[in-house]
Amino acid sequence: MTTDLTVRATAIDGLLVLDLPLHGDSRGWFKENWQREKMTALGLPDFEPVQNNVSYNATAGATRGIHAEPWDKLVSLMTGRAFGAWVDLRPGADFGTTVTVDLHPGVAVFVPRGVGNSYQALEDGTTYAYLVNEHWRPDVVYTAVALDDPALGIDWPIPISEAEVSDKDRANPLLADVTPMEPRRALILGGYGQLGRALRAALPDADAVDLDTFDMTDPAAYAGVDWARYDTVVNAAAYTAVDAAETSDGRRAAWAANVTALTHLARVARRHRLTVVHISSDYVFDGTHESHDEEEPFSPLGVYGQTKAAGDAVIATLDRHYVVRTSWVIGDGGNFVRTMARLAKDGVSPSVVDDQVGRLTFTDDLARGIVHLLRTRPGYGTYNLSGGGAPMSWYDVAREVFARCGRDPGDVTPSSTEAYGKDKDLAPRPRHSVLDLAKIESTGFVPTPVSTSLDDYLG
């Protein structure tokens, strides 16, 4: 009888065996069948169970078929003894890997989604209890494999030919004929905007929705999504009309898209244990510091920045979140670089602001950084992500574009923010938008220098 709670890895990734202390005397025993704080500290995922099920086998030999379920579960015995067998039915190099464990009340097994599990009672009156993190539904389809497939090499204590097995489970296919369980995937909200298009290229297995057909401000839109298909949501949608946000209609639209929509998304993400990647902005700061790190308090100047800061705060309430703060985004739609390239071609000599300083961020690089976070899974939280290299003003960027387009950079004239904004209804803008990139660089991601991205973009 073990005296210490332990969690052991197995040959199947994510399948964990727990040794549970049984505290007993002449009256019987007591165990902590689920103890979140202790178990997660030892490496058990915080899988947030929502349903507790109990299964009873009256006689030894009763055998449950090998089924992979679309949820995680923690299974243990209350009474009796059993033999457990698990088969990895997820796609990948480990497909078909098998693990077996002798089960008694002092052992529990955590079974991740997509791993087939089967149990053979070895004593009369064997009772199983298992916690799952999705509610059971009658329409669920399980991925299954034959109990006696020689390819699995399972040495059943009671031969399957002599065991009590349902007709349905005796008809399960051989491993060679099994289609692996479809993994959960990412869903891109705003998947047809500038960043959304780059994300779809970087995450080819992801699904995407267009804001023309999915109204993020409407709670009913979320009810129409089968969230069990997803483990990640990347929110590339936002109201970004900085100047229009200062108008009465724009103010309401900005708060609806950048804040109210995120309260609906956060509610869904919490219920379905989704990781949310949310795109933030340098506009959450007033620009009085020359460089902004992730710990700097919010200090937005205008309505757009205020709504982005409020949205960031909503997403930060989720356990699983990455707030990706970026600046001066350039993609495949209309943007400052394209405008300057067109003016250079058309022979125009523009006047450009020279007292707002930051770094361009190209959507391909931003998408690459987001994929890096999702693949490496560093600690959740906020990460600055922009182009690399030396900071530049908008005036500097315009000169760089003119030079690459064969025009004399001297044809670009510098202007102050005040002079440029005279007689225009412009929202206030941060003077310094440079984001400190040390945190994301510490995860192994190297932002592409802006000069390199400009070469590629204009080439």
The residues that are catalytic are 67, 130
Token readout for 409 is 């950079």
What is the b/e burial string over 258-278, where b = at least 16 CB atoms within 10 angstroms of the residue's CB?
A: bbbbbebbbebbeebbbbbbb
The position carrying tokens 């995120």 is 262
Strands (E) across 258-369 are located at: 275-281, 321-326, 329-330, 351-353, 357-358, 361-362
Paired sense of beta strands 321-326 and 329-330, if any: unpaired
Distance separating alpha carbons of residues 363 and 454, to the nearest angstrom: 12
Helices (H), 281-391: 303-315, 336-345, 363-376
Question: Which candidate, 130, 113, 16, 128, places its Cα nearest to that of 71?
Answer: 113
Distance separating alpha carbons of residues 95 and 88, to the nearest angstrom: 5
- DSSP for residue 385: -
Distance separating alpha carbons of residues 236 and 387, to the nearest angstrom: 18
Q: How distant, in Å, are the alpha carbons of 13, 92, 253, 283, 337 from that of 279?
A: 31, 31, 18, 12, 21
Return the H-helix or E-strand segment holding 25.
strand 23-25
Q: Name 360's Cβ contacts closer than 8 Å, sequence gap at least 6.
A: 327, 328, 329, 330, 337, 386, 387, 392, 397, 450, 453, 454
Q: How distant, in Å, are the alpha carbons of 54, 62, 81, 103 from that of 121?
A: 14, 5, 6, 9
